[in-house]
Amino acid sequence: MRKGFTIVIYTFFPPLWYSVLEEFAVRLVCLDLEGVLVPEIWIAFSEVTGIPEFRRTTRDEPDYDKLMRFRIELLREHNLKLADIQKVIGGMDVLEGAMDFVRSLRERTQFVILSDTFEQFARPLMAKLGYPTLFCNTIETSACGSVSGYRLRQQNGKKHAVAAFKTLNFKVFAAGDSFNDLAMIEEADSGCLFRAPDAIRKDYAHLPCADSYGDLMGEIDVFLGS
């Protein structure tokens, strides 16, 4: 009898069922890492090595595989290894204001970092951010420590992560600064760009763009209150 009663309610009153799900949906914020909470790792590496080609990032190149193959070849040409990159990262700090922003965000809601960086890069930076949850990728190295390749956790992983959270009845806000963040922002229930370059702002003018942590928190507060 109980099973039949459940089926009758779901069959004849679907709007009621969906409104209950909507009411209990939990808010979740998904953020990019580099350019949002920490400086761009490859730009910092470029400054230390004096090799300007390393400055090219996902803010400039929408094809991530093309960009990574370019970086790996450049590392090989200059005989630079994973340890050289990690040494630079070890001297990096989070962006000014990032820790205050993270603390305020945690007081408001849960958040997850969705990044195309690599676990071998991110560890010291995660320590400085208080070890938030991070979904990222993996660098592959040879026996001598040279970067030989990379392994994606999933193709278009940021977008798929947001889509998966939504199936778990999360309402999702997403923010990032680069080409590889656009799919997750557009997949999310709400979101915005953060300090994005002019080319992205122009081509995606329908997306709001925050230029300070105060502006970003304002966008998040609107989402949390919706």
Q: Which residues participate in catalysis according to the annotation?
A: 32, 34
φ, ψ (nearest 5 deg) of residue 152: -75, 140
Q: Report the candidate in 88, 47, 46, 96 with the shortest Cα–Cα distance to residue 71.
A: 46
CA distance 183 to 98: 24
Q: How far apart are CA 226 and CA 223, in angstroms?
A: 5
Tell how far CA 130 is from the center of its chain. 16
| Residues listed for the chain | 226
Task: Name beta bridge partners: 113.
Answer: 31, 134
Helices 14-23, 2-12: axis angle to 10 degrees equals 90
Residue 152 identity: L
